[in-house]
Structure 1
């Protein structure tokens, strides 16, 4: 689900615009407002397509080199229509298995710096492309549409395929997918969430407000989507998972100035999940944080063999990495 999780997302980020871009944004807002009044059903359908349509991420040179080094195969998502293939990548031959879950519009190659750091720490690493992302098959609603629920099913398929998973490291909406997988019984001993969104309903409401869409149209879109999702939007609240289900020790890493997912979202998750730690960075944003050596070292420390126990040195609720 769209969370303000990509540079193309109209969600939570506040960006500087030129006068021309500002005029285009105002025109688009006017069109959404008019559609809400004249054709609420059609506008709800258009909002649904926008919200569930991930952007297309293109791997750069470092990402492609990482994927070329991997042992690649397939996992299957079953039980929701025809079986669909999820592309799975593996690195390393020994050590505990760490599963990496990308975010909205992401792909396995974005983890190139993290993979190298975890391999150096003696771990095996597994990453995957969620359905309708990267090299994986299209989801139930086609290649241009998917949801956090389908991302979670992709994660579970990769986890069962890769064998016992010691820890999950997730970025952005991949964190919400991880929370859903944990709720469904994923037996991880530790989790790391980087720039995680807290609540799908709140994020969608923010996007609708920014577009000028009224609450009735938003409510209609959410009711319609619940029919094919098979569950209410209230099920996609990450803090609630920690309040209502057993969860592993979790490290939440969030940059204070993240322009795509608010720092407050990460803080809310860390406050709700028992044994969770909040690590706050400064100046790394939403994506550059995945390449920071200090962050990667902290991840490796947290998900080491003692990850099931509270770790010394991470008790402070707010720690800045320079």
Structure 2
């Protein structure tokens, strides 16, 4: 019953945007973009942090008009930066952190814009990359691990910022093309061609991003460091084909196909493989 109600509400919302697109294009664009960019879960309450985050040293960082938390599990001079995905937060790394601690490394994680304890209501990859750059400049991590949109963000980051401190990258279940995300979003709401074009134009006007050119495969093609990519055949959130496109464009990356892990990619065997990739010489 709840699923049916959600489906009906979603389609009615899309119909409203379609109609508004002809009457007031600016309002329609603002509404469509806000629904696309505003996460509806993944927030945390400071007084009720998950145990794994309570065990870390937490620091609130100011970046322009934004504030975001940076969590550090102290260790040796080897440093690993963990970058979570959409509607999640730094606590999603709890299982992987347990594995990484065996290496004695210092582990760092952050909350994305509008996630966890970070300020704001809007998420976008360029701003997330700015947050990452603040952390990278402070810690100069050797390795970065990103899941889902976090994986797409570290691809964007390393292709645009090209930080020479980064030696290896791990990307799990990442989407490749912004155009695919927008197309899926438009399909979910049944947006017509006019509303879809308004949304695409918004990305260019605000971020100077052409949706057809904002691609993980394009970002990956510019990355020289070693990579480990993993994507699950049964991922119903981000298609397996998205991972393959990134892998084909990144010559220095190894591509692992998993089955039965879904989008979360939580798995003992996979985490051991990540450990070996990062720390075995």
Query: Does residue 294 of the first structure (1) align with residue 269 of the second (2)?
Result: yes
| Correspondence for 2:129 | 152
Task: Tell me the equivalent position of 2:59.
Answer: 73
> Contact 2:247/2:254 (CA < 8 Å) preserved in 1?
yes
Secondary structure class of the residue paired with 1:96: strand
- Aligned residue for 1:124, secondary structure, equals strand
Structure 2 residue 207 is matched with structure 1 residue 229? yes
Q: Does 1:56 align with 2:41?
A: yes
Deviation at 1:33, TM superposition (A): 3.9
Among candidates 241, 248, 251, match of residue 225 of structure 2: 248
Q: 1:210 aligns with which of 185, 188, 213?
A: 188
Partner of residue 86, structure 1: 68
Instruction: Provide the rounded CA distance (Å) in 1 between the counterparts of 2:40 and 2:225.
Output: 31
Q: Give the Cα–Cα distance (whole angstroms) in 2 for the partners of residues 195 and 207 of structure 1.
A: 18
Contact 2:178 2:215 in 1 (8 A): yes
Report the Cα offset of residue 260 of structure 1. Answer: 0.9
Give the superposition deviation at 1:253.
Answer: 1.1
Do the aligned partners of 1:98 and 1:169 also contact (CA within 8 Å) in 2? yes
Instruction: Please state which structure has a larger fraction of its residues in helix.
Output: 2
1:236-279, Cα deviation, whole Å (9 max, x unpaired): 31101122x23311111111111111111111101111121111
Structure 2 gaps, min length 5 = none
CA–CA distance in structure 1, aligned partners of residues 5 and 113 of structure 2: 36
How large is the Cα RMSD of the aligned pairs?
Answer: 2.4
Gap runs ≥5 in structure 1 = 1-15, 307-322
| Structure 1 length-normalised TM | 0.78
Query: How far is the alpha carbon of 1:99 from its aligned partner?
Result: 0.3
Paired positions, count: 277
Q: Please give the residue correspondences for 1:73-152 in structure 2 after superposition, counting only pairs within 5 Å.
A: 73-77=59-63, 82=64, 84-136=66-118, 138=119, 143-152=120-129
Deviation for aligned residue 1:230: 4.1
User: Structure 1 residues 74, 230: CA separation in 2 closer, same or farther (over 3 Å shift)?
Assistant: farther
TM-score, L = length of structure 2: 0.89
For residues 105-132 of structure 1, give each alpha carbon's deviation from its aligned partner in whole angstroms, at most 9, with x where no partner exists: 2211111111111011332211011232
Residue aligning to 2:154: 178
- The answer (yes or no) to whether the contact 1:63–1:111 under 8 Å persists in 2 is no
What is the CA–CA distance in structure 2 between the aligned matches of 1:296 and 1:280, rounded to whole Å? 14
| Distance of aligned partners of 1:19 and 1:233 in 2 relative to their CA distance in 1, 3 Å threshold | closer
For the structure 1 residues 215 and 26, does the alpha-carbon distance in structure 2 shift closer, same or farther, using more than 3 Å as the test? closer
